[in-house]
Amino acid sequence: QSALTQPPSASGSPGQRVTISCSGSASNIGSDTVNWYQQLPGTAPKLLIYSNYQRPSGVPERFFGFKSGMSASLAIRDLQSEDEAHYFCASWDDSLNGPVFGGGTKLTVL
């Protein structure tokens, strides 16, 4: 059972907007920032969003993150076929004394 809860799956059609949620608690998201990772099939994860909404160089503006209270979300607009991947949220957890990841969401582009 992950400290951060994500829906196991999400889907959308090309061109649509999709949102993936990450629900935590006061000991993690409620008190620290959230990062998001994209893992394409058969590859290592890649940093997609850090510190709630910042995008590393090279990440398209179609990806954006936001946080409110003890939850965070990753939104992808203008969905493209190459966005089909697993997405993981991550944060620090005071109770577990370490970084924690969400269980991951598999995004399918229909």
Partner 1 sequence: EVQLVQSGTEVKKPGESLKISCQGAGYDFTTFWIGWVRQMPGKGLEWMGIVWPGDSQARYSPSFQGHITISSDKSFNTAFLQWSSLRASDTAMYFCVRLGPGGMAADGVINPIFDYWGQGALVIVSS
Q: Within 70-99, which residues bind partner 1 (CB under 8 A)?
A: 88, 90-92, 96-99
18-23: strand order across its sheet: 18-23, 71-76, 63-68
Category of 69 on φ-ψ map: left (φ > 0), alpha (ψ -120 to 50) or beta: left
Asked if 3 touches partner 1 (CB under 8 A), the answer is no
**Residues whose CB is less than 8 angstroms from the CB of residue 54 and which lie 6 or more positions away in sequence, other chains included:** none
Binding part of the chain for partner 1, among 15-23, 31-39, 60-68, 72-80 by CB under 8 A, reads 31-39
Binding site for partner 1 (CB under 8 A): 2, 32-33, 35, 37, 44-47, 50-51, 56, 88, 90-92, 96-104
